[in-house]
Structure 1
Amino acid sequence: MNDQSHKRHIAKAVTWRLVGTIDTIILSWIISGNPLTGLKIGMAEVLTKMVLYYFHERVWFKINLSKDGEVLESRKRHFAKTVTWRVIGTIDTMTLAWIITGNPLTGLKIGAAEVVTKMILYYVHERAWYKVNYGLPSRTKD
């Protein structure tokens, strides 16, 4: 694994966290009815999600789904990454929302809403990054 791949994964983590945080703030605000609660939950997630996302990227980078020694990138791989990330992300969001609001039901509601919005946003994010070569020496495209 080269140093460029680390830079790529950090860049992806930062861009995804920006999109994800905005989504969390809006959903938390709508569900809790309090914009400050939305901001607290969104800001609490920034650190936890950046770390979790970075490690998620590293694991997926090491998963060798290859043909003729070249890592295959495909819509199926992006969908699988979307599902695994959403499970991790939803658990983190529900836990933080529960802690911040003191209400486990609020955490569950926010987590449930995020499943839909975040999976769509994450898939689009993955497809956009697939078109960017930053941090990749070579690859095959689908």
Structure 2
Amino acid sequence: MKEITIDYALRATWQAVARMYNEEAKHFGTTMAVGFTLLSIDPKTGTPSTALGPKMGMEATSLSRILKSMEEKGLIERRPNPEDGRGVLIHLTPFGLEKRGDSKDVVIRFNDVVRENVSKEKLDHFFEVIEIINQLITDKKIYSKNSATN
């Protein structure tokens, strides 16, 4: 291939970001997946366990493993959902709130450094392109019977 493909650039960049986050998470005795989960749980009201997977774009089995590990480490606790007797809310423990703060600091640092090194105009274009790609996928305009060019 003469040119780098869009999907390759996205995938390679995300893998580099994920490696970076995992390296940083090691300093806190955790992983990027745990940090992402901590940031996805509402720190005040908790989050229904059934809402976490879709919110994070994660399969239920992978999320179950992460939640079990987080519960064993004392980061979260499961409580009955008062609005749905069958449901469970995931709440952060005081330790989980502390680790959530660490995760938030790491994400903010990444964003700050990128913003210091990339102009607002370029970031605006980046987000515009990402939004278009997501919309094309959502609208099934890439792989549908009507989009085939061959």
TM-score normalized with structure 1 length: 0.40
**Which of these two proteins has the greater Rg computed from alpha carbons?**
2
Larger helix proportion of the pair: 1
Larger strand proportion of the pair: 2
TM-score normalized with structure 2 length: 0.38
